[in-house]
Structure formats: structure tokens, C-alpha cells
């Protein structure tokens, strides 16, 4: 019997943080990325972004934008949040922007 895939613990921590601080983004897809740096620097980044459906001035489909594959790097309609986390899942920094974090 196949085992159920469990979400990454850092994604769970980021989702809980978003649910408490920015509830409208808690159900959006999260992207986890490992970072390099000195020993005391953040180890992971979690990004989430949302674009208003059907209102893209660049003609990007809502499904493409929701999947995080929007080719437009800076858009005034996008709402994105980037969280920097340590190894234990503690959020060290929260950045709100209109940038597509890649």
C-alpha cells in the first residue's frame, strides 16, 4: 500500500503563519526554496502570490499566474509575499511586494 505524501514541515509552518497574519493567502500555493548563506542567515524562502482573475493587462492566463509561472516580473496588480525562515521554521522576515519571486 502506498504511503500518503506528507507536506514539508516548513510549508506547514509558513501556512500557519500566513493563516494567522494574512488569512486571504493561506489557501494559495506556496513555493519553498532552500537558500545558501552564512551560518546565521535564513535557510529557506517561501513565496506566495496572487493575481486578480481576469484582470491581467498583459494577457497572462489566471492558471499560469496561479502556478507561479507568470513571465511578467513586476505587475501592479500582483500581490506577493516572501517569507524567510530559519531551519526550525521560524519566520525571520516578511516582505510584501508586486514582484514575481523566482
Residue range 66-71: average pLDDT? 79
- What does the pLDDT read at residue 54? 65
Q: Calculate the average pLDDT of the chain.
A: 87
Whether 96 contacts 81, CB under 8 Å: yes
For the chain, how many structural domains are there in total? 1
In a domain, 93, yes or no: yes
* C-alpha span between 67 and 83 (Å, rounded): 18
Domain range enclosing 93: 23-97
84 pLDDT higher than 90: yes
Whether 79 contacts 66, CB under 8 Å: no
In a domain, 14, yes or no: no
- Is pTM beyond 0.75? Reply is yes
Amino acid at each position: 500500500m502506498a504511503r500518503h505524501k506528507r507536506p514539508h514541515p516548513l510549508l506547514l509552518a509558513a501556512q500557519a503563519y500566513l493563516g494567522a497574519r494574512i488569512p486571504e493567502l493561506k489557501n494559495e500555493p506556496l513555493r519553498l526554496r532552500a537558500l545558501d548563506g552564512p551560518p546565521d542567515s535564513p535557510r529557506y524562502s517561501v513565496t506566495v502570490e496572487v493575481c486578480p482573475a481576469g484582470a491581467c493587462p498583459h494577457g497572462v492566463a489566471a492558471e499560469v499566474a496561479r502556478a507561479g509561472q507568470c513571465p511578467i516580473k513586476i505587475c501592479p496588480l500582483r500581490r506577493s509575499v516572501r517569507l524567510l525562515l530559519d531551519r526550525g521554521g521560524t519566520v525571520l522576515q516578511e516582505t510584501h511586494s508586486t514582484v514575481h519571486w523566482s
